[in-house]
Amino acid sequence: MNRRRERKSQRLRLRPGFLSLICLITLLAPLFYPIVSFAAGIDLPALNLNLDDAKGPQQISGVLQIIFLLTVLSLAPAVLILMTSFTRFAIVLSFLRFALGTQQSPPNQVIIGLALFLTFFVMQPVWQRVNLEAITPYQQHKISGEEFVNKGLAPLKEFMFKHTNKSDLALFVSMSQKEKPQNAESLPISTVIPAFVISELKTAFQIGFMLYIPFIILDMVVASILLSMGMMMLPPVMISLPFKLMLFILVDGWNLLIGSLVKSFQ
Q: What is the pLDDT of residue 8?
A: 46
Q: What is the pLDDT of residue 48?
A: 52
Domain that holds residue 204: 74-211
Q: What is the pLDDT of residue 199?
A: 92
Q: Give the chain's mean pLDDT.
A: 76
Decide if 41 is inside a domain: no
Higher pLDDT, 257 or 60: 257
Q: How far apart are the C-alpha atoms of 239 and 242, rounded to whole Å?
A: 7
Q: What is the pLDDT of residue 63?
A: 63
The answer to whether 126 and 151 have CB atoms below 8 angstroms apart is: no
Domain count, the chain: 1
Decide if 109 is inside a domain: yes
Instruction: Check pLDDT > 90 for residue 89.
Output: yes
Q: What is the pLDDT of residue 142?
A: 82
% the chain with pLDDT above 70:
72
Range with the poorest average pLDDT among 3-17, 109-123, 140-154, 179-193: 3-17
Decide if 130 is inside a domain: yes
| Mean per-residue pLDDT, 135-142 | 83
Q: What is the pLDDT of residue 32?
A: 42
Decide if 177 is inside a domain: yes
Decide if 194 is inside a domain: yes
Q: How far apart are the C-alpha atoms of 60 and 252, rounded to whole Å?
A: 60
Decide if 9 is inside a domain: no
Decide if 146 is inside a domain: yes
Q: What is the pLDDT of residue 12?
A: 42
Q: Residues near 182 by Cβ (< 8 Å), separated by ≥ 6?
A: none
Decide if 2 is inside a domain: no
Higher pLDDT, 217 or 56: 217
% the chain with pLDDT above 90:
12
Q: Residues near 94 by Cβ (< 8 Å), separated by ≥ 6?
A: 111
The answer to whether 135 and 152 have CB atoms below 8 angstroms apart is: yes
Range with the poorest average pLDDT among 3-17, 81-95, 133-147, 211-225: 3-17
Using alpha carbons, list the distances in angstroms from residue 24 to 13, 18, 27, 125, 215: 18, 10, 5, 62, 66
Taking only the tens place, the pLDDT of each residue in 140-177 is 888 887 788 788 888 888 888 888 888 888 888 888 77
Q: What is the pLDDT of residue 101?
A: 83
Q: How far apart are the C-alpha atoms of 171 and 138, rounded to whole Å?
A: 35
Closest CA to 153 of 194, 198, 188: 188
Query: 155 preceded by cis ω (within 30°)?
Result: no
Using alpha carbons, list the distances in angstroms from residue 248 to 31, 104, 115, 125, 218: 57, 17, 19, 32, 12
